[in-house]
Structure 1
């Protein structure tokens, strides 16, 4: 279903997986990866957004470390590799690459000019920073790791942001959640949903903590949010 395109930056080129909807022109959504690269889970999410009518694109944000990472969460060796990538990743450069992705897909013949973003895990942090640092029209953050250290950036938020937080997230402890909620719950651009009893990556199909009902609930809220904000 998907295709590969190249995105240019001052530092070089990287690839992105693109899935196109049936419509000739549509809003676009940038899908921001977890720590496992542009893997089957991310491609399935991208394809799913295209099926819902969006021009969806998932950029390879690990290209500066190792292009083409495509691993799963199913083995200890892959988890080890994923955390090595996470620890080597330059968040600021990653946000710039997301901005380059937004610019590229906004200029695509199939885009109507509106661009949203949705990110998971590491991508959840990047989705938050996409909302504060880029010209994306809307962003959705799933269980973003490290947002509590960057809540001051919320003063730059001028576009809508939807946040999904897992109450028992092993990578976002209760104290971190409290910081996020205190800083953002009354922000006019921010909508937050907390999923009680859920652990990190509750929406990752096939993952250890996948919860079908709450994944569907969060997915429905995400689609409604995009329909409201980018069409």
Structure 2
């Protein structure tokens, strides 16, 4: 067994069963924010698994959500191998498919680093649906959208200092030509705007709009 699965954190819905979702972390690790997202998705009827992407270089990593935490997390992320991370995400998708509690399909949903990996996993052809929040490598790799056969939803902030608006426009153009893909840009928001425990990033109004769109998309493409 892939060791990412040995101690895989799982959130199970009250019914004890439902479709699977692989929730893919930001650079901050499995923190209170990600746990709250996992719990909310489980309450909506999904079996949620969160692979630990930094287990090879910084096991158990979780940081604060201030300037110091961002700097420390970026240092940890600098040692991250995205191909190994993608293999962990895909292994988690396969693992969820085999769980008795998982009925129906398995999707991926990721933020920041996880948004890049959610898109990469969709391009690998494995999940049944995918949601990518502000993945920084998405614009440069948008040609891979041609490989995506599942429904996919992208979210970006129009004021993201890490992802220029011109790069987001490249994704918009590709999505417009790809059936099953959609993109939503919160023009007034920056990076990581959904992270409600990071005051330097969180934009409550944009987060609420984007999360409403995400939940509606999941209801359509991975009904619980």
Superposed, 1:56-135 pairs within 5 Å as 56-76=48-68, 78-135=69-126
Counterpart contact for 1:157–1:189, Cα < 8 Å: no
Superposed, 1:15-34 pairs within 5 Å as 15-34=7-26
Counterpart contact for 1:14–1:63, Cα < 8 Å: no
**Residue in structure 2 matched with residue 173 of structure 1 by the alignment:** 164
**Residue in structure 2 matched with residue 141 of structure 1 by the alignment:** 132
> How far did residue 140 of structure 1 move?
0.3
RMSD: 1.5
> How far did residue 170 of structure 1 move?
0.8
Counterpart contact for 1:32–1:59, Cα < 8 Å: yes
Name the SS of the counterpart of 2:78 in structure 1: helix
Note closer, same or farther for the CA distance 1:213–1:109 as it changes in structure 2 (3 Å cut).
same
The count of corresponding residues between Structure 1 and Structure 2 is: 222
> How far did residue 54 of structure 1 move?
0.8
Q: Find the partner of 2:30 among 38, 59, 65.
A: 38
Q: Relative contact order (alpha carbons < 8 A, sep ≥ 6): 1 or 2 greater?
A: 2
Bigger share in strand: 1
> How far did residue 117 of structure 1 move?
1.1
Displacement over 4 Å in runs of 4+ = 11-14
> How far did residue 42 of structure 1 move?
0.8
> How far did residue 13 of structure 1 move?
5.7
- Cα offsets for 1:85-120 (capped at 9, x unmatched): 222111111111101101111111110041111100
Name the SS of the counterpart of 1:140 in structure 2: strand
- Cα offsets for 1:55-102 (capped at 9, x unmatched): 1111101112221111121351x2222111222111111111101101
> How far did residue 49 of structure 1 move?
0.5
The answer for unaligned runs of 5 or more in structure 1 is 1-7
CA distance in 2 between counterparts of 1:52 and 1:227 reads: 10
Counterpart contact for 1:32–1:123, Cα < 8 Å: yes
The answer for unaligned runs of 5 or more in structure 2 is none
TM, length-normalised to structure 2: 0.94
**Residue in structure 1 matched with residue 221 of structure 2 by the alignment:** 229
TM, length-normalised to structure 1: 0.91
CA distance in 2 between counterparts of 1:213 and 1:196 reads: 11
